[in-house]
Structure 1
Amino acid sequence: MQVFLVRHGQTQWNVEGLLQGSSDIPLTDLGRRQAESAAAALVARVGDDPLIVASPLERARHTAHALADRLGVDVEVDERLRERAYGVWEGVTPEERERRWPEEVALWHAHGDPMLPGFEEHDAVQSRMIAGVEDWTDRAEAEGRILVAFAHGSCVRVGLHGLLDLPLTHRTLGNLGNTAWSQLTRRARGDWTLDRHNVTADTVAVA
């Protein structure tokens, strides 16, 4: 069973290096072009009728529709694919984070959970991502379709660590770039292989 996990296109907050989290930030003009390029590359790989699901945040839904509209299929929405909530860190520059919360930043960089208002802990993100991907893969498999899920950098990385039984205490996998994807194979629930990671429209031919 083939599954693609795709990150959304560029936003202005990506350009500025700000954590977006649950903030609903739209794509830039470049982000929209990235979404179209990714869609063109994915069309040849996901079949005529993939099951497409997206985070409810606009940047992910817009990226998903670039593919869905080409194929004439619907985009399902699942709250479990929403980006991690960063609480008071959302929209704050890295410099301000370091200045105001040095201990929390150090803990976060050490793969820990900083105790901050509104910050969603690793385990919570991982649990909902695993449940969402497994459930949608069940449906795609039952319908004989490939699953393409559009989400976000942090939640996809944390979810992948869970699906592949990798510890969260190490950053084994890096975040996906904008409109990059991971391709996985599922043999059964809980039995996953990562076939490709951080593939883009520009690199797919050699990935």
Structure 2
Amino acid sequence: MTRVFIARHGQTDWNVEGRLQGSSNTALNDTGRQQALGAAKTLGPAVRDGVLVVTSPLDRAHETARIIAAQWGSEVHTDERFVERDYGPWEGLSADEREKYDPLQHKAYRNGLEPEYEGYENHASVGARMVAGILDWVERAPGDLLVVTHGSASRMAIMHLLELPVSGRRIGNLGNASWSRLGLPEGGGWSLDCHNIGAE
């Protein structure tokens, strides 16, 4: 059975401040590095030999992937398709700042709807590139595939693979340095085998 592990990067200062990071290239903080080490401990016994590790090129994800992959001595590959969505004019704003910027759009966003801004990458676009990337790398993986990515990108990947409606919040975001596992049996559709497994 094909197995794909999807992990989110560790904590950054913007996570602590509640700012939307999106395509901004923020770095892990010290807590985030410790979380990545914890994720390595939970992922270590969960994956099969020959795991292929692929990450978003953004620093916070790439460093998380390197910390996790070090236990296996695995090469870390990068793929632009696994970056976080671009939030357009909301990029870098806290929840309070987003509400002041546009109260109606912010309320809709909190209810699981998409804001309508130029530069905001919608659910369909994020999901399509994430799934395309995952399916491409699955073909190259000798065993399990580990994708290290971002909160919204990971949620869209999971929902699209499961063919769930993407409106609302049917699946919650992964916590920092947490991961989920999806399986694809021969002749069957994708299943979510475990979700939001926290770092040790």
TM-score when scaled to structure 1? 0.91
Secondary structure, counterpart of 2:194 in structure 1:
strand
Q: Deviations over 1:112-161 (max 9, x none)?
A: 33222321111100111111111111221xx2x11010000001111111
How many residues are paired up?
Answer: 199
1: CA distance, partners of 2:186 / 2:134: 12
Name the Cα RMSD after superposition: 1.5
Q: Deviations over 1:59-110 (max 9, x none)?
A: 1110100121221110110111100111111111211111111122133234
1: CA distance, partners of 2:112 / 2:43: 32
1:123 aligns with: 124
Pairing of 1:1-207 with structure 2 (within 5 A):
1-140=2-141, 143=142, 145-187=143-185, 191-202=189-200
Structure 2: segments with no counterpart, 5+ residues: none
For residues 188 and 152 of structure 1, do their structure 2 counterparts lie closer, same or farther at Cα, with a shift above 3 Å needed?
farther
1:205 aligns with: none
TM-score when scaled to structure 2? 0.94
2: CA distance, partners of 1:137 / 1:13: 32
Secondary structure, counterpart of 2:115 in structure 1:
coil
Contact residue 52 and residue 144 of structure 2 kept, 8 A: yes
For residues 154 and 86 of structure 1, do their structure 2 counterparts lie closer, same or farther at Cα, with a shift above 3 Å needed?
same
Q: Deviations over 1:21-47 (max 9, x none)?
A: 000100010100110111122111213
Q: Percent identity?
A: 46
Higher alpha-carbon deviation: 13-22 or 101-110: 101-110
Secondary structure, counterpart of 2:4 in structure 1:
strand
Contact residue 13 and residue 28 of structure 2 kept, 8 A: yes
Secondary structure, counterpart of 1:191 in structure 2:
coil
2: CA distance, partners of 1:179 / 1:100: 30
For residues 28 and 70 of structure 1, do their structure 2 counterparts lie closer, same or farther at Cα, with a shift above 3 Å needed?
same
Contact residue 19 and residue 93 of structure 2 kept, 8 A: yes
